[in-house]
Structure 1
């Protein structure tokens, strides 16, 4: 009985000593801080498109929306890493609803303003583009702070991948893809301001959606947009 008790005591002593050697305390735990951190590598956004320059008689109908997503390479340029440059690549889809009917064919499109007293079901065009943005960034982040204020100003070039226009008046539906009059390249500037994951973004499309060959009553169509929405940045 004595031998059994002694053996049990020695076993407990050994187990306790082993446990003490492998137990971590808050004083001995060291967390490695990444002093070379990068911020906001991915983005996704949703926006409302407002046509701010358009031919006489053309008005915007209903809600024109868009969304975008992509990757930005964050490159800090100061020691505190509060300033950075971020080039990237992304995709965007934008829809524009208005009363300018696009009929004809992709190689011979015809444009006209639908009179206010004429009813129609649909009149819109949409574009799917690849984007090349570059941002100039300020934020008050730190290696251990994941919620912070940011102001990002940027410029981007987009290239047209796919386009489609739809006009439907109840009698016929005209769908045109690959319209030769759409500009391949669009240029624009934007500003993003926010805190944490939620940020307001305003984007101004500098040049027109249409080439000079697109005309209404012998006048070139000049049409560009101001987009207002929310953008979400993700590490």
Structure 2
């Protein structure tokens, strides 16, 4: 009996000791960032068109536009659903069309319109530095990066390189950095959508060519219209 009581005592002692040694689980503290910003890289792909077309002017093929850059988000209210966002970026714009740009014997730029059967390819392309600034609405929260957005903006661009290239099947004729092109271009844009996928539309307010540029005595008043998709990446 003494041996039995001794065993029961030892078992009770070790059981009590093991219970005292168990520690409560410590859960990590999740820090909530209530001062988040939507600083983002952006990338857009667009189909490029012209408006205010002169007589007999047409476009053909797929005219591609690409742009990318970074915007800095500055929230305007406590819930951070409204913000302004200035940014910086680069763009490549390409337009297939039948406006013939060439140089005469004196080196002056002259313009004409060719039928599509008279050449293989005719395009205008430009590269620019962009400075967008947009007013933002979104229903985002600090708990989720997936949300609806509507961004209205204005984009200012400086064209640092441009070319008009005509291929008649035998020879390529190129006019680089045409002095008649408006180097400074600007216009409003809209981007709207959910999460990563968003529609994008930009309309150029000032003409592509300077006011003195004419085609058969008519002022060339071409303006740009770009529509496509824009992606925002945190």
Q: TM-score range with shorter-chain normalisation?
A: 0.7 to 0.9
Q: Which runs of 5+ in 1 are unaligned?
A: 1-12
Alignment of 1:59-74 (within 5 A): 59-74=58-73
In structure 2, the CA distance between the partners of 1:59 and 1:30, relative to structure 1 (3 Å rule), is same
Q: Could you tell me how far apart the structure 1 residues matched to 2:167 and 2:111 are?
A: 14
Aligned to 1:113: 113
Shift of 1:40: 4.4
Paired residues of 1:93 and 1:128 also in contact (CA < 8 A) = yes
In structure 2, the CA distance between the partners of 1:127 and 1:24, relative to structure 1 (3 Å rule), is farther
Q: Could you tell me how far apart the structure 2 residues matched to 1:107 and 1:203 are?
A: 34
Aligned to 2:88: 89
Aligned to 2:4: none
Q: Could you tell me how far apart the structure 1 residues matched to 2:223 and 2:95 are?
A: 10
Q: Which runs of 5+ in 2 are unaligned?
A: 1-16
Alignment of 1:36-51 (within 5 A): 36-51=35-50
| Superposed structure 1 runs of 4+ greater than 3 Å apart | none
In structure 2, the CA distance between the partners of 1:107 and 1:193, relative to structure 1 (3 Å rule), is farther
Paired residues of 1:95 and 1:127 also in contact (CA < 8 A) = yes
RMSD between aligned alpha carbons?
Answer: 2.2
Give me the TM-score of the superposition, normalised by structure 1: 0.86
Alignment of 1:6-45 (within 5 A): 25=26, 28-45=27-44
Aligned to 1:6: none
> Of the two, which has the highest radius of gyration?
2
Give me the TM-score of the superposition, normalised by structure 2: 0.87
Aligned to 1:171: 170
Shift of 1:214: 2.0
Paired residues of 1:107 and 1:179 also in contact (CA < 8 A) = no
Alignment of 1:1-235 (within 5 A): 25=26, 28-104=27-103, 108-115=108-115, 118-235=117-234
Shift of 1:205: 0.8
Paired residues of 1:40 and 1:233 also in contact (CA < 8 A) = no
